[in-house]
A and B are shown apart, each in its own frame.
Chain A
Amino acid sequence: MQEPTFLILTALAAEPMHGYGVIRTVDELSGGDVVLRPGTLYGALDRLTEQGLVEVDREEAVDGRLRRYHRLTDAGAAALAAQVERLRRHADAAATRLSRPRGRTAFAVVSLGVIR
């Protein structure tokens, strides 16, 4: 799952949102790192709808303009939860390995010995 897709699903996880809402929420969630452009957003939404992960929640007309709200489906929530689990495993593994003192693996000792 690509980062924009992950963030779009994350944005929709809390409540149904329209396009502009998703863009703003993703901006906040990523601390300004990911700025979704409309072309990217609607390309991803179309694909996610096709895959049954997202569906249309409702439509509203504001000042004669169409606002369409999208929401996560159950399958979408499950896919997001699986991805969260995966990312957590990776993050934990990375944190564990980082907390280990560096330069003291068996391999490093042997190579140091050879060089000296």
Chain B
Amino acid sequence: MTASPARLERRYRRLLLAYPGPYRRRHGAEIVTTLLDLAEPGRGRPAAAQALHLVACGLRQRFRLPAGRPLALVAAVLAAVAVGALGAAAGNRLGWRTATPVPSADVLRALAADAAGGSRSDVAAYPWETAMNGPVLDTRVTVASAYSAERVRNALAAAGWRTTTLRETTGGIVVDITEDPYVTVPTRSVRFEATKDGLSLTGDSTTVAADARRGVEGRTDQLLGVSADESAAVRPLTVAGLLLGAVAGWLVAAAFAYRLRRGGRSRRRVAAALVAAAFAAAAVPVFVLYGDLQQVLAYDSGAPGPYIVDGPGGRLPAGLAPACAVAGLLALAAALVIARRGARDDTGATGPAPAASG
């Protein structure tokens, strides 16, 4: 095999892809010349150590920020924090896709109706998400007849569930508080728990005895819910998303800072003001996302049932976080357009970038 300089040059150019685009366009040609000057005659491929070093330097260049620009550093840190929050949310969603999906509302309505001895059409279904964004589907149905533990057990078994707990208790509910002591009627309850590969089911059926004298009709209220068990991937993927998002945010900010540096002064000012506005707007959604992240990482999967936590996001006016996110993205898009134009105007010049000023 004869080594051709053209092939070696092609290989060097490929290695230079590790560098950011604008840097490559400015310095790529002279770097390749120097690499070819350095190559031993007859060499067909770059030495492994040299190739590795070049790629490492290229990747490092992507993380670099323009010298003497403290605001670029602030922006990069804020971008890492903000995009990290998005990454964590995305990683969390991705993690939950590895969990067993909860059954459809129709399937669960059928099970709830069988367990309660009622009709499917009477069963109401409510989907919701836990504090760590795990899917839950709750059902509620009221029937006239008393519950039967046997029927509950059979309905669960027929649907493939393994009952782990089934406990009956008695109690009472207050029906009249105008007398002293309050008037109560007795109740009977059954509480049950079951599992089926990656899903957990909890339910509670309470029968109120009829009391014609008090005008109380006999009825049974049954609550039955299914939640997806946390899969092993949920928390690791959430953290991985946070880290990847942070890196991505930093890289975008670094690329943006270099673009902006090549634009004119007034253009830089407008773009910087827009970026500042974007960060200000992003503060609200990012705050909410970190509240969510904290809840994901602190979630107690050993709790008796799925739960939600009243987070900081819940205390904000509804719609504020999405509105701020949209405003932030618009400001950011405008800044990117301006920075892009600035960079394009400058591409004609082959000389050195104008010395950083101001």
Partner-B contacts on A (CB < 8 A) = 18-20, 23, 37-43, 45-47, 49-52, 55-56, 59, 62, 65-68
Contact = CB atoms under 8 A, between A and B. Distances in A.
17 contacts: A19-B31, A19-B34, A19-B37, A37-B50, A37-B53, A37-B57, A38-B34, A42-B57, A43-B60, A45-B27, A46-B61, A50-B66, A50-B67, A50-B68, A50-B356, A51-B68, A67-B33
Contact of B34 (A23, A49, A56): A23
Contacts of A47: 67
A43 B61 contact: yes
Contacts of B300: none
Interface in B4-32: 23, 27, 29-32
Interface stretch (B179-187, B188-196, B230-238, B347-355): B347-355
Contacts of B50: 37-38
B212 interface: no
For the complex, would chain B's binding face be called helix, strand, loop or mixed by DSSP majority?
A: helix
A51 B67 contact: yes
Interface size class of B (residues with CB under 8 A): 20 to 34
A4 B353 CA distance: 23
Contacts of B66: 50
A45 B61 CA distance: 12
B20 to A, nearest CB: 11
Contact of A65 (B29, B57, B60, B356): B29
Nearest to B37: A20
B56 A39 contact: yes
Contacts of A46: 23, 27, 61
A47 B64 CA distance: 10
Contact of A20 (B34, B56, B57, B61): B34
